[in-house]
Amino acid sequence: MTEPSSTLQTVEWLRTSPKIVILTGAGVSKESGVPTFRDAIDGLWAKYDPQQLATKAAFQANPKLVWDWYEYRRGLVRQAQPNPGHIALAALEKRFPELILITQNVDDLHERGRSQNIIHL
């Protein structure tokens, strides 16, 4: 649990900062049902290591398998909805217009959560 003084200090930093940058990765979309590459996946894909499937070598060895896996992941993203984290970041952006959100994610959940100042890495 955050100490009240830490929370107040954070609010003050946000309020007085000329620029705010927030970096997000796969963890922010996990609650929406989009597994990270390190998460165990059940069902058909349980026997495959995502970090291995996402390689050039895997594609060269079995392109259909890799395409099928990516299509599975795209389906998860299509079904996913922004979670409270995405919504909270959009609310922060509305409150602090100078906020820039940098994300490593390839899903569009930040956009669907109404964030606008997004840089995709």
| Stretches in the chain below the pLDDT threshold 50 | none
Distance CA 80, CA 19 (A): 30
Which strand ranges, in their side-by-side order, compose the sheet holding 118-120?
Answer: 20-24, 99-103, 118-120
Helix (H, G, I), strand (E, B) or coil at 119: strand
Query: What pLDDT is stored for residue 2 in this prediction?
Result: 52
Say if CB 14 and CB 89 are below 8 A apart.
Answer: no
Token representation of residue 119? 């840089």
Q: What is the pTM of this model?
A: 0.79
